[in-house]
Structure 1
């Protein structure tokens, strides 16, 4: 990912405010959001090509980070998820640490295990699953080691 491109924040007002505070404070204001750990995920827009950043609740697993494409239980996948399907090379910030990562969707037993772990962190995911027939994706962000 080219670090020189302008990064666009979420069009959702409260998300954009959270992301700006998080980025400006190196994670001191925003890493823990209402008691939940959050990271910043930057994806490349699948149609625009623009870099887009959002904040997501995360878990950790085997050196990677786990996020859920719940979109509040909407019937539509979140844009960030659709973007990383088109381009899995992403940028992540966890507190003050920034790194490149590769995103992949968890499947099978791994997905089931990670879904359960994420519902412990954020129990609302269980309710979101009841609101939609869509299979809510569980995504693993694997830091590039180099």
Structure 2
């Protein structure tokens, strides 16, 4: 995935960039949540540029794995980060004060999504509103730790 010293380009969205900066600079002690909901940092490769990119995402858990929702606020298009991880599923995460670690991204099947969706909506109720806004089936992605 990424060289340890490779700089990631942070999301151009202002509040995301600011939160990602605080999260990283604090070593995961600040900027780790949105509206009281836990967030992680996701580093991924741009499918066209090959550039390392970073975003902040709300996450849930399923056993040892992390779950993120490609909601894009209920937009009819998938978020860019999602399109990129479909093309290149090897990613890196920072969750709280843990150092960065390698993970593999996998979109959940309809059956697995149905099993975890209620807990994700309980975690962040707006996900239900986002799904109601779009005809697009909002993907849920499993991020599983892999050995570096």
TM beyond 0.5: yes
RMSD, matched Cα = 1.1
Q: CA deviation at 1:117?
A: 1.2
Q: Distance in 2 between matches of 1:19 and 1:12?
A: 11
Tell me the equivalent position of 1:6. Answer: 7
TM-score, with normalisation over the residues of structure 1? 0.96
The answer (yes or no) to whether the contact 1:22–1:28 under 8 Å persists in 2 is: yes
Q: CA deviation at 1:116?
A: 1.4
Q: Distance in 2 between matches of 1:24 and 1:33?
A: 17
Which stretches of structure 1, 4 residues or more, deviate above 6 A after TM superposition? none
Please identify, of 110-119 and 44-53, the stretch whose mean Cα deviation from structure 2 is larger. Answer: 110-119
Q: CA deviation at 1:8?
A: 0.3
The answer (yes or no) to whether the contact 1:46–1:83 under 8 Å persists in 2 is: yes
Q: CA deviation at 1:26?
A: 1.1
Tell me the equivalent position of 1:131. Answer: 133
Q: Deviations over 1:80-116 (max 9, x none)?
A: 1000000000000001212100000011221111211
Unaligned runs of 5+ in 2: none
What secondary structure is seen at the aligned counterpart in 1 of 2:50?
coil
TM-score, with normalisation over the residues of structure 2? 0.95
Which of 96, 112, 115 aligns to 1:113? It is 115
What secondary structure is seen at the aligned counterpart in 2 of 1:28?
coil
Q: Distance in 2 between matches of 1:32 and 1:62?
A: 20
Count of matched residue pairs: 146
Unaligned runs of 5+ in 1: none
Q: Deviations over 1:23-80 (max 9, x none)?
A: 1001111113321000000110000110110000001112100000000001110011
Q: Distance in 1 between matches of 2:6 and 2:29?
A: 24
